[in-house]
Amino acid sequence: MKFDDHFYVLLFSPKFEGEKFVAYQDSVGVWTIGAGTTEVDGKPVYKCMTCTHEQAVAWAKKDSSKFEQKVNDAFADLIAANKVNQNMFNALGLFCYNMGSFAHAKTLVATIKMNPVNFDHIEGIWLAYCKGHTATGELIKIPGLFNRRGFEFDLYKS
């Protein structure tokens, strides 16, 4: 499957991080720009780096291709059986893009694989991923992340 235009609209949504034209440090201190880009042409984003909207879109599309593949790989059996619709795929992609991978979300992946429409069970696990570690290693609830996870899950079940 492929991400559709709706995926990119949501990726750049000001409801969440939105689009930043000047590099900033995320909650764990990683320099980030655009719609979550942390690396450009193999080099890390750096302090004071700037970009245009066009660059941010190009980088996001390039970045998203690897996450598209991760979603396809993680859920290949369900996709082949037509048990993943476009909204589910986009929601899983937004989750993966924001997390960087499914490496820390193995429980979520396993739960979805068991029953992709057991929404009550999946929701609790999905929303558990609204915490993050600060640059000092402290585990905290990241204010906007709970809203993001709720929105992603609502998209998933729609």
17 is catalytic: yes
All residues at 6 or more sequence positions from 46 whose CB lies less than 8 Å from its CB, including other chains? 23, 31
User: Which among 4, 5, 19, 26 is annotated as catalytic?
Assistant: 26
Pair of tokens at residue 113 = 């694989």
Rounded distance between C-alpha atoms, residue 100 and residue 73, angstroms? 15
Rounded distance between C-alpha atoms, residue 127 and residue 107, angstroms? 12
26 is catalytic: yes
Rounded distance between C-alpha atoms, residue 108 and residue 148, angstroms? 16
Question: Using an 8 Å Cβ cutoff, are 35 and 19 in contact?
Answer: yes
**How far, CA to CA in Å, does 10 sit from each of 58, 97, 110?**
15, 12, 25
Point out the residues that are catalytic. 17, 26
